[in-house]
Amino acid sequence: MSLLEVVDLSAAYGPIQVLHGISLTVDAGEVVVVLGANGAGKTTALRAISGLVAAKGELRFDGVSILGRHPESIAHRGVSHVPQGRGTLAGLTVDENMRLGAYSRRDREGIAADLAEWYDTFPPLAKRRSQTAGTMSGGEQQMLAVARSLMSRPRLLLLDEPSLGLAPLVTKQLFETLATVNRERGIAMLLVEQNAALALELAARGYVLEAGEIVASGTAENLSRDGEIRKAYLGR
């Protein structure tokens, strides 16, 4: 049984249908990427999974249906969404943002231990603990968004274009850290990316989303060899 099972999921904003019945799975500890052009419905897919957008179809996390549940209840189950544009709270300090990530947890010692661990994993954040998040660079804010999500001890991380607006080198470092987190903690990730080359390096499997439908899927290796995908998303 997969950790996340999405079967024939559709979603619409008012009269505009964005997702036309997509199906995908993410296994425990697996990294899966969804590739697609602007407007293909990638963000909507993540928003539907985390409960921010109403959807139809089947949506199961760890065998339990989470369709139609409130975002906070889905978050409590272990799905953590890192939204596009990061969603860090600009007026709060790094530390406060991190503690907010642990909002649904009550184990003080565990929170303190995780805080120390993630500051260890993301050293630039440790240096800026008491700085307001809004004054940090884009890369640092993206790190903060990921680290904050990890504070909830998720089993599945939903990452919406983490590379958006970041310098290539910063993106590369971020993806290396994500790989480390996945390897060491076994946290599954569903990643939506425009930077297909890097994403396919990180992911084990991938799906290609076009106009709200899944048009291709396979292992990362096969996808990166596919001629059309190379032309459309890898630019070579």
Partner 1 sequence: MRGRALGIGTRAGAALLTVGVLAWLPQYYGATDTALFAKAIYIAIAALGLNLLTGYNGQVSIGHGAFFGFGAYATAILMNDHGWDFLATLPVVAVASFVVGAAVGFPALRVKGLYLALITLGLAALFPDLVTKYVHGTGGTTLVQPPLPTSPGWAQGFAPNDDQWRYYLALTIGIVMFILAWNLVRGRFGRALLAVRDHDAAASTIGIDLARIKVGSFAISALYAGIAGSVGVMVTGLANAGRVETFQLSINFLVAVVIGGTATVLGPVVGAWTFVFLERATQDLFPDQALLSPAIFGVALILLLFALPDGIVGGARRTGRFARRKLQARRAPRAPDFPSPIREDRQ
Asked if 194 touches partner 1 (CB under 8 A), the answer is no
Contact pattern for partner 1 over residues 34 through 63, marking x by CB under 8 A: ----------------xxx-----------
Nearer to partner 1, 155 or 205 (CB): 155
Residues 147-180, buried b or exposed e (16+ Cβ, 10 A)? bbbbbbbbbbbbbbbbbeebeeebbeebbeebee
**Binding-site member from 41, 83, 139, 206 for partner 1 (CB under 8 A):** 83
Region from 16-24, 99-107, 112-120, 213-221 binding partner 1, contact rule CB under 8 A: 99-107
Cα 20 from Cα 138, distance rounded (Å): 33
Residue 163 binds partner 1 (CB under 8 A): no
- CB 72 → partner 1: shortest distance, Å? 5
Member of 13, 54, 68, 90 binding partner 1 (CB under 8 A): 90
Other beta carbons less than 10 A from residue 106's beta carbon: 8
What is the Cβ-side half-sphere exposure of residue 66, based on CA atoms within 13 angstroms? 26
The answer to the question of residue 148 lying near partner 1 (CB under 8 A) is yes
The CA distance from 121 to 98, in Å, is 13
Task: Answer yes or no: are the C-beta atoms of 206 and 33 closer than 8 Å.
Answer: yes
141 counts as binding partner 1 under rule CB under 8 A: no
Q: Does 182 bind partner 1 (CB under 8 A)?
A: no
User: Under a CB-based contact definition with an 8 Å cutoff, are residues 4 and 48 in contact?
Assistant: no
Contacts (Cβ under 8 Å, ≥6 apart) of 222: none
Quote the least distance from Cβ 159 to partner 1, whole Å: 12
Please work out the total of residues on this chain that contact partner 1, with binding judged by CB under 8 A.
Answer: 30
Contact predicate 117/150, CB 8 Å: no
Question: Using the rule CB under 8 A, is 132 a contact of partner 1?
Answer: yes
Q: What minimum distance in Å lies between the beta carbon of 148 and partner 1?
A: 8
* Element holding 98 (H helix, E strand): helix 94-101
Contact footprint for partner 1 (CB under 8 A): 50-52, 70-72, 74-76, 80-81, 83, 87-93, 95-96, 99-101, 103-104, 130, 132, 148, 152
